[in-house]
Amino acid sequence: MYHFFVKQEQIDGEASAVTITGSDVNHIRNVLRMKPGEEILAGNGTDTDYLCRIEQIAPDQVTARILSRAESTELPAGLYLFQGLPKGDKMELIIQKAVELGVCRVIPVNTRRTVVKLDAKKEEARVRRWNAVAESAAKQSGRVLVPEVTPVMGFGEALAYAADLDVKMIPYENVRGMSSARQAVESVKRGMSAGVLIGPEGGFEEAEVDAARRAGFTPISLGRRILRTETAGLAVLSILMYHLEAESAPDARET
């Protein structure tokens, strides 16, 4: 089922109707060639999705009747990905897959070994593009929430931003054994928040790992192989997604 996001003011609760405007109108009319009577999902991008039936397709707007509130697809905990800026267009791939895996926010981070240098104008354009990628991935994966990609932060700024998170992890190749990773993942429970801090292609300097540890991040191992920056964060998010989905599954709650 096709999924669209609208602003809260486009949802008329009293009339049980949703009005879709902008580029999505062309997509519905001329790309998908949808007709009145077909069903879609429409949400505010924050906390609610509605199952709707299209009633009218006009040149500048689509009107749909709200049938019911849709079941949430969100994870029961908030996952934050602090991603060291990678080279090329890898950030778009990371954001797309992180959104699919259930992340609620992506924070691009400048570290000492970050190669990419963005001036203010380029950064603004990149952040706009990254948020568009996040919205597209949220639509594709049936998310209720459209995760935000924040402006790029310095390393110290990112540590301060993560101060109030319940669980914080930093994968680091010098950690041996999987016990720290297992304990960190299993400590993430319903209603909590968890942050994962990933270095760029060159990894973290030891001083950065020490600073992260002092800020409450637990260094963890992801195994005996060295993972690329575009793989490491997604590996942790995949494990956390499985852990949280299993924890919240009906059969898990009944035991």
Q: Which tens digits make up the pLDDT trace of 179-216?
A: 999 999 999 999 999 999 999 998 999 999 999 999 99
pLDDT of 99: 97
For residues 160 and 82, membership in a common domain is answered with: yes
Q: Classify residue 216: in a domain, yes or no.
A: yes
- Full residue range of the structural domain in which residue 82 is found: 78-250
For residues 85 and 144, membership in a common domain is answered with: yes
Q: Classify residue 255: in a domain, yes or no.
A: no
Q: Which tens digits make up the pLDDT trace of 43-95?
A: 888 778 899 999 999 999 999 999 998 878 899 999 999 999 999 899 999 99
For residues 218 and 244, membership in a common domain is answered with: yes
pLDDT > 50? residue 167: yes
For residues 124 and 243, membership in a common domain is answered with: yes
Say which CATH number the domain at 37 has: 2.40.240.20
Domain count along the chain = 2
pLDDT > 90? residue 106: yes
What span, in angstroms and rounded, lies between the C-alpha atoms of 76 and 78?
7
Say which CATH number the domain at 110 has: 3.40.1280.10
At position 39, the amino acid (one-letter code) is: E
pLDDT of 251: 56
For residues 101 and 51, membership in a common domain is answered with: no
For residues 111 and 62, membership in a common domain is answered with: no
Residue that terminates a domain, selected from 69, 93, 125 = 69
For residues 92 and 211, membership in a common domain is answered with: yes
Q: Which pTM was predicted?
A: 0.84
